[in-house]
Amino acid sequence: MTSSNKKNPALGRGLSALLSDNPSTVGGTSLVSIAKIEPNPFNPRTDFDAEALEELAASIKELGIIQPLTLRKINADKYQIISGERRFRASQIAGLKEVPAYVRVANDQSMLEMALVENIQRENLNAIEIGLSYQRLLDECKMTQTELGQKIAKSRSDITNHLRLLKLPARIQANVRDGKLTMGHARALLSIEGEKQQLEVLNAILEQGLSVREVEQWSSKKSVGNKPNLAKKTTSPLEQQLKVQLGLSVKLQEDSKGKGKLILSFKTTAQRDALIAKLNAG
């Protein structure tokens, strides 16, 4: 332990000076060999963006791991991840031999609960992953929605709204998961009856950039038998010209007074950087 008159080094590069090299102290913070760590089969996150992992690995090489992993001790030579699998994967890419970790002992039931709760609270899960985590806590950990809300400090309405997303067609859920559809849009789609109609409006959202309000209005009009026109908008000459010149998806939103905005969409940092280079060159 450092004395009170000494400055504590930051976590990361100076971490080894703070932590015990003996990972047998369960519940404490230790340096654990990466070779002894295995992923958590209960982890609700299944998709890990390769580019984001590379960026995190570069940060870890420079600064070390700021937030330790949380591990379950299985035996003297094996640990299982409760939370922090993304940091674990990035550490492997960075070539680390050991990582800082909080070590706990838990049976499978409590481990599942800890993994789900910690991911909901600490990880950047999308709305579908959160909904799946809520459902698993209710089903597999035998919680009520009230108990779940108390444990994760969320309102019952928040829990209900995320659970309702799981009733949407798989294609809509996939678009929410992939960040192509907001939770607001997904909730608006829930009010539309029938999978065919929901998918029809989904296509309109993706192709025309419909707002949440426009989807809600469509649902309201449809409920009284007046189906709005969702025909695909024609591409303006300006949109077409910019699309050819920039190689990106371009949307023009303009009102009757000529006021509006252009939306340029890129999918990767490489496309973003190429756009910046073209704009600077112009």
Active site residues: 85
Contacts of 122 (CB under 8 A, 6+ apart): 83
Beta bridge pairs of residue 261: 253
Q: Quick one: residue 70, left, alpha or beta (phi over 0 = left, psi -120 to 50 = alpha)?
A: beta
Q: 10 Å Cβ neighbour count for 24?
A: 10
Chain centroid to CA 119? 10
Question: Which amino acid is residue 207, in one-letter code?
Answer: E
The closest alpha carbon to 119, from 130, 105, 108, belongs to 130
Contact predicate 163/131, CB 8 Å: yes
Distance CA 5, CA 2 (A): 8
Contacts of 30 (CB under 8 A, 6+ apart): 19, 20, 21, 22, 23, 24, 100, 101, 103
Give φ, ψ of 181 to 5 degrees: -140, 130
Question: Which amino acid is residue 280, in one-letter code?
Answer: N
The closest alpha carbon to 135, from 160, 172, 106, belongs to 160
Distance CA 43, CA 45 (A): 5
